[in-house]
Structure 1
Amino acid sequence: MSRPATDRRTAPHRYPFSAVVGMADLKLALLINAVSPGVGGVLVRGEKGTAKSTIVRALAGLLPPVRVVAGCRFSCDPDAPDPGCPDGPHDGHGAERRPARLVELPVGASEDRLTGSLDIERALAEGVKAFEPGLLAAAHRGVLYVDEVNLLHDHLVDLLLDAAAMGESHVEREGVSVRHAARFLLVGTMNPEEGELRPQLLDRFGLTVEVAATRDPDERAEVVRRRLRFEESPAAFAAEWAEREAELAARIAAARDRLPEVRLTDAALRQITAVCAAFEVDGLRADLVTARAAIALAAWHGRTEVTADDVRTAARLALPHRRRRDPFDAPGLDESKLDEVLAEHADPSPEPPDDDPPPSGGPGGGRPDASADASGDARPSGSPAGSERDGGRSGRAGADRENEPAPADAAYKPRLFTVPGTGTGAPGRRSKARSPHGRVSGARPGTRDLHLAATLRAAAPHQRARGRTGPGLVVASEDLREAVREGREGNLVLFVVDASGSMAARRRMRAVKGAVLSLLLDAYQRRDKVGLITFRGRDAALVLPPTSSVEAGARRLERLPTGGRTPLAAGLLRAAEVLRVERLRDPSRRPLLVVVTDGRATHGPDPAAAAALLADVASVVVDCESGPVRLGLAAELGGRLGAEVVRLEDLAAGSLAGVVRDARASWRERALRRGA
């Protein structure tokens, strides 16, 4: 929830931006956007505990103050007020200066908290329709920060996309129709292990940075030393860095003033477009973002002309997340290829030298901290060198390929499948569900999710009979209406994969992995959770706990080993335990069990007892048995589970998602027959 903007002299002390150790690229990306908000914001990807939120919140203290129309809740510029502002017209209103706002959007925020809604207090007290602004209005001409942006509900993502694309917010709800400007710097932080972003939102971020904790003991010691001093006395620590913060703030303001004077030469523009074309990014947004970032970099370094170094740094920050062809590709950029393209399209005329003075380490001792000036030539924090290489597999010359994990067949696009009926699971994009975050489809008597407009409409005809004589409404309990919302839910798809010796044939494992990858991709797009259990030797292992991270699933599947005996019962028992725990964690998420096996059980107890524990779970058995003589063991297992049985060779011809859809319908019919 956003707080009213306060004067920096009285605001609580934030950790100083310049006191953050290292993370040169992240600091530079934020400063570029501070100089030129038109760059489009920053997405910060990294593991937990790397000060992502700390440095983003610290940026607010460096932003120049903004001039606004006095009393305007939508932060109109007095020199160019919005003619459609809900608080307008602004003729005769004075102007005031206030600090730029950093507005935080909680992951669990409601739609009306983001966009605004009917002012309930005025509606009940005065009987009038009045609009109460939301977080998009508060963030106008400031920063909108979303921590864990990859966990943001889809209905909020859609609203953000609309506002970011149009620069304004349209609100049509509860009898209110409002349009107001909403131009903001969008900054998001995320941990990739918790799931990826929708491609549409990913592309809206101008720049992206990968961060990781430093492995240098001296730098780690300096991080701890500074943090302990800050916690001991925030005011004293802030005072230590006040001069450095003032210098950065002044440099941002000077760079903003210099920005209109910076010239993007035709040679630099050719380099930008050549780089974007060489990396095969979609659309032209990458070209525009790279150009704006390069111009901002030149202004930041005090130049009036974009250089090749500016183009290189801008491309390194603007392109990694745009060159992903699918969610299984790790974000990254081949910097040697980048240098080749820049050299091929270089301007033969000499460039002026970069005489930007080296930064000082600042107060507090320790190693010099060059990251605040950030020339941008360092490798992104925590990004692995050679991200487009094969992970070292080509270096294992002479290795026995038969002992290596089999690669996966190419993933394909599955058909859409849904769970019959209406569920109540976590918000997703697959099955119909009753959701507190869905779209309002109607109203009904109740008080759980008050539908104010419907309540007022129900009460209005009875005002004279209830003796109303003045402002306000007389509302009775029978007038109360709650919103009926319809949304979509995600499901939990749990794979149980036989990785024993009988499954070790590379052709079969390639097909199995390709099918699983296909459903992983579909799950990513539709916000399902996916888990992976394998069994081989003497036991079963949960190699991928239920997650929404498609990258984590692809990595586990790629390294899946095979061989040994077949403990089928152990795999089923582990699946029953995982589903039991997941029901406790999220009882409303409906599961689907996909068992990939030839049905053999050469170790452990008879799987019949374990299968009985899963009889109430919608299941699919993928029969991997091969050869001219088939024992039908997988079909027997399917009968015990009440599952649809599908042969592995049938998966490649169609779609695993289509098979799953048909299996769910079949399982439902069998369940109804058993109940009868």
Structure 2
Amino acid sequence: MVAYPFSAVVGLDDLKLALVLNAVSPRVGGVLVRGEKGTAKSTIVRALAAQLPAVAVVPGCRFACDPAAPDPECPDGPHDPAAEGVRRPAALVELPVGASEDRLAGSLDVERALTEGVKAFEPGLLAAAHRGVLYVDEVNLLHDHLVDLLLDAAALGTCYVERESVSVRHAARFLLVGTMNPEEGELRPQLLDRFGLTVEVRASREPGERAEVVRRRLAFDADPRGFAARWAEEESALAERIAAARARLADVRLPDARLRQIAEVCAGFEVDGLRADLVTANAAIAHAAWRGRDAVTVEDVRAAARLSLPHRRRRDPFDAPGLDEALLDELLDRTSGDDDPDGGPRDDPPGGGPNGDRGDPGRPQDAGPDQAGRGDSATAGSPKPDPEKPEAGEPDAEAGSPGTTAQEQVAGVAAPYRVPLLAAPGVGAGAAGRRSRSRSTHGRGTGSRRPRNGPVRDLHIPATVLAAAPHQHDRGRTGPGLVLKPDDLREVVREGREGNLVLFVVDASGSMAARRRMTTVKTAVLSLLLDAYQRRDKIGLITFRGTEATVALPPTSSVEAGAARLRSLPTGGRTPLAAGLARAAEVLRVEKLRDPARRPLLVLVTDGRATTKANDVDRAADLLKGTATVVVDCESGPVRLGLAVRLATRLRARLLPIEALSQLGHPRKAS
């Protein structure tokens, strides 16, 4: 299969540079590519793998040991240092979203254990990716424990396997590239921090550039080999330059002045921990090697910081990664003069370095607002919002706001807080998460059972051996292996946590529109949204006011979108409670068809008032029978009608006064 040429990719200069820096120095720590669908994220990753220098490996070694320096602890070793190696292209290994921990890290070779009676290790994808590229498409949809595992291996350069009586250590140094579409859900900030560099990519809005992208793609699809041949010269030059930069890397100096500058920049952007400093230093050294320099300059530090800091500045899970480049320039200017005494002039000469070729990934570009890698800026040290005041662009609830009628208001939002766990009853079998109990393929083992249908996916070895052991004499066993029958097989029963579909139904009518009251309601829902984010749920948002209920956000994994819709939610008008319940029932019905394994949890935020007949509300509530529901009672004041209590009884729901959410949880640091 012919890969699309790396040099033929139009634009995406920041992404090209980030990938090349990791190809030059694996210590940079990988690249996370964030962007909308259809922006050539997968194409450019596969194109880079074809440009990596070929590697020499020990013949027959499943762990791709280098014959010049074989791993002394290689499970396939010891290797003869005098043995001649064989050369092969650098591996490109793709990790599917549905992979198991065994597939990623490796596990006991069950077939040999049961048939030959020997303990043998079957390597996983981390071993296959050693000295190559490990590519994870849609990394934000990968189970968190798998992301932790592969990021640990990428950081240490070693994979440790301790399970099922197997204790193995093997080298696992690879270029880690993950791609994701933020619309499908974000990675947790703790996991974002583990990626060395991040790049935000967007399709160009310039018609000429878009036309060139389509023109080249059509030419490639029509004749892949001919198209690749036309770009062979540029591809060869790129591969040679990467190899030269790798050879030069060990000789590049990081002057103390530049190291202090890196520390100043990271401190100025208030990033947590010291990983940002280490990644920026390694990226700056790789950038200097890529540019053919023997010492790191200010421009190398700037290029590294632009790629290593945006995703580490998130102070809140709902913040989008971004970097204020004006602040970056200010911090750099504060610690350097016009010239760099350690490495020559601060700015590179025109032409972008030693090889100013077309498509040079290292060439600095003037990026416009639509170019990749220029995330939304977020100035460090900006003032915190006052919970008692409306947010910017959100007037006081008593006053109207632009784009709203005289009966509509937009209330502000205070700092979110921790909320108690709201879970669906019983045990489900949905997607892995952190909310409700479920039967899981990744949870803790709670027992064993006979396989139900199809092949055994998760063999419980001790239970299988115990089931087969009493019958070995009758089956005429003579050798070291067990004589097994299909009835002996047992699989592990695991229990973990699942993510749910949390559907918020929020009363946005005039009865909720008092400024302080609606601020309290919005803050409570935002706190619940943050809880849903951390528990890996899908969420949806329905609001009802005036004469109808509106699906403000269809069910999605992008909790950030829900938070944005909530902040700008206007209130006012009548209270069509029955319409809100009926719309919720319809959304849940459709979602059940799309994702039958994911259990719903309905969170109804209301004071129970309705401008429709009580019978209409009761009929709509009956549509939600059997749905796990929580009613958040927003009624306040000395005189209460208890309408939300009556509604919760009708829905057989858990009732929580809105004040209880903050009292049962714990205060959360303001964002």
Tell me if both proteins adopt one fold, taking TM over 0.5 as the criterion. Answer: yes
Distance 1:634 1:273, change over 3 A: same
**Pairing of 1:401-420 with structure 2 (within 5 A):** 402-403=400-401, 405-420=410-425
1:98 positional shift: 1.6
What residue in structure 1 maps to residue 443 of structure 2? 438
Aligned CA distance change for structure 1 residues 398 and 646 (closer, same or farther; 3 Å): closer
Q: Write out per-residue CA displacement over residues 285-335 of structure 1, whole angstroms, 9 at most, x where no aligned residue.
A: 100000111111111111112111111111110001111112111110111
Residue 357 of structure 1 is matched in structure 2 by: 351
CA–CA distance in structure 1, aligned partners of residues 459 and 249 of structure 2:
48
TM-aligned CA distance change 1:538 to 1:217, over 3 Å: same
Question: Which secondary structure does the structure 2 equivalent of 1:495 belong to?
Answer: strand
Q: C-alpha displacement at 1:64, in angstroms?
A: 1.2
Residues 14, 373 of structure 2: 8 Å contact kept: no
Which of residues 463, 468, 485 is equivalent to 2:477? 468
1:7 match: none
Task: Tell me, yes or no, if the aligned pair for 2:323 and 2:376 is still in contact at 8 Å.
Answer: no
The CA distance in 1 between the partners of 2:449 and 2:209, in whole Å, is 60
- Tell me which moved more, 81-90 or 592-601: 592-601
Find the counterpart in structure 2 of residue 573 from structure 1: 582
How far apart are the structure 2 equivalents of 1:475 and 1:397?
73
Distance 1:154 1:354, change over 3 A: closer
Shift of 1:356: 6.2
Q: Does the CA-based 8 Å contact 2:29-2:197 persist in structure 1?
A: yes
Matches within 5 A, 1:130-529: 130-347=120-337, 349-350=339-340, 351-352=344-345, 354-355=348-349, 357-358=351-352, 370=359, 372-375=361-364, 378=367, 381=372, 383=374, 385-388=376-379, 402-403=400-401, 405-446=410-451, 448-451=456-459, 453-454=461-462, 455-456=464-465, 458-460=467-469, 462-469=471-478, 473-529=482-538
| DSSP-derived class of the 1:535 partner | strand
Q: Residue 22 of structure 2 is aligned with which of 23, 33, 36?
A: 33
Secondary structure in 1 aligned to 2:506?
A: strand
1:44 matches 2:30: no
Structure 1 equivalent of residue 404 of structure 2:
none
Contact 1:533 1:543 (8 Å CA) reproduced: yes
Preserved contact between residue 320 and residue 376 of structure 2 (Cα < 8 Å): no
- What's the CA shift for 1:417? 4.7
| Identity rate, percent | 69
Name the aligned partner's letter for residue 433 of structure 1: S
Q: Counterparts of 1:517 and 1:242 in 2: how far apart (Å)?
A: 53
Greater shift, 422-431 or 399-408, is seen at 399-408
Relative distance call for 1:36 and 1:444 in structure 2 (3 A) is: same
Report what 1:674 is aligned to. Answer: none
The verdict on how the C-alpha distance between 1:426 and 1:601 changes in structure 2, with shifts beyond 3 A counting, is: same
Shift of 1:651: 3.5
Residue 616 of structure 1 corresponds to: 626
Q: Output one character per residue of 1:122-179: Cα deviation in whole Å (capped at 9) or x when no partner.
A: 3455332222211010011211110000000133223224323432222233443322
Find the counterpart in structure 2 of residue 631 from structure 1: 641
The answer to whether the 8 Å contact 2:510/2:572 transfers is: yes
Q: 1:395 to 1:594 in 2, by over 3 A?
A: closer
Match of 1:555 in 2: 564
Higher alpha-carbon deviation: 161-170 or 558-567: 161-170
CA distance in 1, matches of 2:483, 2:16: 56
1:264-283 Cα deviation digits (max 9, x unpaired): 11211111100100111111
Cα offset, 1:204, TM superposition? 1.3
Q: CA deviation at 1:349?
A: 4.5
Partner-residue secondary structure (3-state), 1:204: coil
* Closer, same or farther: CA 650–479 of 1 in aligned 2, 3 Å: closer
Q: Distance in 2 between matches of 1:34 and 1:491?
A: 39
Q: TM-score with structure 1 length normalisation?
A: 0.89
**Aligned with residue 82 of structure 1, among 52, 58, 71:** 71
Instruction: For residue 347 of structure 1, report the CA deviation from its aligned partner.
Output: 4.5
Kept in 2: contact 1:450–1:480 (CA 8 A): no
Higher helix share: 1
Amino acid paired to 1:651: L
The whole-number CA distance in structure 2 between the counterparts of 1:361 and 1:260 is 21
- SS of 1:64's partner is coil
Q: Kindly indicate whether the alpha-carbon contact (under 8 Å) linking 1:25 and 1:378 is maintained by their aligned counterparts in 2.
A: no
String of CA shifts for 1:472-527, please: whole Å, max 9, x gaps. Answer: 54312332111222222112221110111222222122111111111111111111
How many residues end up aligned between the 2 structures?
A: 641
1 CA distance for matches of 2:393 and 2:579? Answer: 36
Structure 2 gap segments, 5+ residues each:
386-390, 402-408
Work out the CA distance in 2 between the residues paired with 1:452 and 1:442: 9
Distance 2:644 2:176 in 1: 51
Q: CA deviation at 1:242?
A: 0.7
Distance 1:473-1:339 versus aligned 2 partners, 3 A rule: same
- The amino acid that maps onto 2:19 is L
Residues 564 and 399 of structure 1: CA distance in aligned 2, closer, same or farther (over 3 Å)? closer
Offset from partner CA, 1:395-427 (integer Å, 9 cap, x none): 899999542622211111224454454322211
List per-residue Cα deviations over 1:638-658 (Å, max 9, x = no partner): 22212233333443444399x
Structure 1 residues 370 and 99 mapped into 2: Cα distance closer, same or farther (>3 Å)?
closer
1:20 aligns to what? 9
What is the SS of the residue equivalent to 1:261?
A: coil
Paired residue secondary structure (1:494): strand
Q: Deviations over 1:514-546 (max 9, x none)?
A: 111111111111112221100111111111122
1:660 maps to none
The verdict on how the C-alpha distance between 1:581 and 1:65 changes in structure 2, with shifts beyond 3 A counting, is: same
CA–CA distance in structure 1, aligned partners of residues 30 and 365 of structure 2: 17
C-alpha distance 606-441 of structure 1, shift in aligned 2 (>3 A): closer
- Deviation string 1:560-581 (CA, Å, 9 cap, x unpaired) is 1112221111100011111112
Residue 71 of structure 1: which of 50, 60, 63 is its match?
60
Q: Secondary structure at the match of 1:544?
A: strand
Distance 1:597 1:309, change over 3 A: same
More displaced stretch, 206-215 vs 164-173: 164-173
Q: Secondary structure at the match of 2:266?
A: helix
Deviation at 1:630, TM superposition (A): 3.1
Structure-2 separation of matches of 1:539 and 1:487: 39
Is this contact kept in 1: 2:276–2:308, CA < 8 A? yes
CA distance in 2 between partners of 1:638 and 1:509 (Å): 21
Q: Partner amino acid for 1:182?
A: A
In the alignment, the residues of structure 2 paired with residue 520 and residue 360 of structure 1 have an alpha-carbon distance, to the nearest angstrom, of 50
Deviation at 1:372, TM superposition (A): 2.9
Letter in 1 for 2:372: S
CA gap of 1:162–1:442, structure 2 versus 1, over 3 A, is farther
What is the letter of the counterpart of residue 405 of structure 1? V
- What is aligned with 1:598? 607
Please identify, of 468-477 and 171-180, the stretch whose mean Cα deviation from structure 2 is larger.
Answer: 468-477
- Is the Cα contact below 8 Å between 1:23 and 1:371 reproduced in 2? no
Mark the CA change 1:546 to 1:566 in structure 2 (over 3 Å): closer, same or farther: same
2:566 alignment partner AA = L
Secondary structure, counterpart of 2:193 in structure 1? helix
Using the alignment, how far apart are the partners of 2:458 and 2:317 within structure 1? 39
Tell me, in whole angstroms, the C-alpha distance in 2 between the residues paired with 1:382 and 1:180: 35
Structure 1 position 59 matched with structure 2 position 38: no
Q: Secondary structure at the match of 2:616?
A: coil
